[in-house]
Amino acid sequence: MKSPERAVLKRCLAKTKELFTSRKSSEDWADNLIEGSKELSTPTQWKHFYTWLASPNTYDEFKTDQLVIDPTPPRIDPYDECLVIDTVQNGPCETIINITNPTLYSKACVNDEKMEDEKADN
């Protein structure tokens, strides 16, 4: 890891540790991670950050440097044609995918209507 990268990483690790020390509530956990890692920008820095998070007491910079980063982008297998897919891009890094099976949904509606009709008959 290059010196400028290392300096940013060390700052982020120290900041994250300080946040977890000062804000110990489980409700603060996500905020601590987000704020502590705010300056990270390279895949190498993230690799080290995640490795440190997994085991802060046994983190070893040299061993982490030896880990290979898989550059393959994640792939989502295509969905069946019978499904309705609604995709929403939430910012540059997050995609929300809502999948509906209309055949199951319509059956549930029919079953609910039958149950209501049966209740009305009784």
Coil, strand or helix at 95: strand
Mean pLDDT of the chain: 87
Count of other CB atoms within 10 angstroms of residue 75: 6
Question: Is 0.75 topped by the overall pTM?
Answer: no
**32 and 60 part of one domain:** yes
What does the pLDDT average to over 1-9? 92
What's the structural domain count of the chain? 2
Instruction: Give the residue numbers spanning the domain of 97.
Output: 84-121
**31 and 60 part of one domain:** yes
pLDDT for res 8: 96
- In which band, very low, low, confident or very high, does the pLDDT at 45 lie, cut at 50, 70 and 90? very high
Q: Which residues, other chains included, contact 11 with Cβ-Cβ below 8 Å and sequence gap of 6+?
A: 39
In a domain? residue 10: yes
pLDDT for res 56: 94
**45 and 89 part of one domain:** no
**51 and 100 part of one domain:** no
Tokens for 62?
């040299």
Let me know the angle formed at the C-alpha of 46 by 45 and 52, rounded to the nearest 5 degrees: 90
The lowest-confidence range among 8-22, 49-63, 70-84 is 70-84
